[in-house]
Structure 1
């Protein structure tokens, strides 16, 4: 059976400077893969990072993003593969919002910079 999630009906989640539109996830019909659309506000910078226990893939649809202060700036069409355990600090150095599609294996766990478990965020549950 095919599961369809219409853009207008996708669950929405927000953190300071970033917004998530839920796509594939176990609660939405996908046992093995999570996918969501990420919008990063123009000028968003964070001084903290997090890690996840699985490889995570970010595809930039529009705008500019960086995944850490020493990481390259990426634009539309670029893909970043962040390996499990590597720090992630999403920033948008541009003057326009950035749009990305993110994919990761279902059941992943996120952790704060000091190793405190965050668990699986609601957009991927």
Structure 2
């Protein structure tokens, strides 16, 4: 299938598909005319990429983990034991960032509340 059909079937833009290719996440066949040709399996692959991006992984991280991720009835599951440790580290970084953002919000709330007090 060509890029427009994959974009429609996967629910992403053609630009996103080109970006995924630039990052090494997709490897379509190229016709002599330059047109990209995708496999039917690439629809599911794009879905896995989108889930991993939504989970906070960078495209560089996804390139590394994608070969070890399997779709188990709609749930992505790590198939390589060493992958879990890296995912736990990523989750810990996200938890830390959430804590920092919560502290920032608390500080902002204090500023907002102090402004509303009659002077």
Larger radius of gyration between Structure 1 and Structure 2? 2
TM, length-normalised to structure 2: 0.19
TM, length-normalised to structure 1: 0.19
Higher helix share: 2
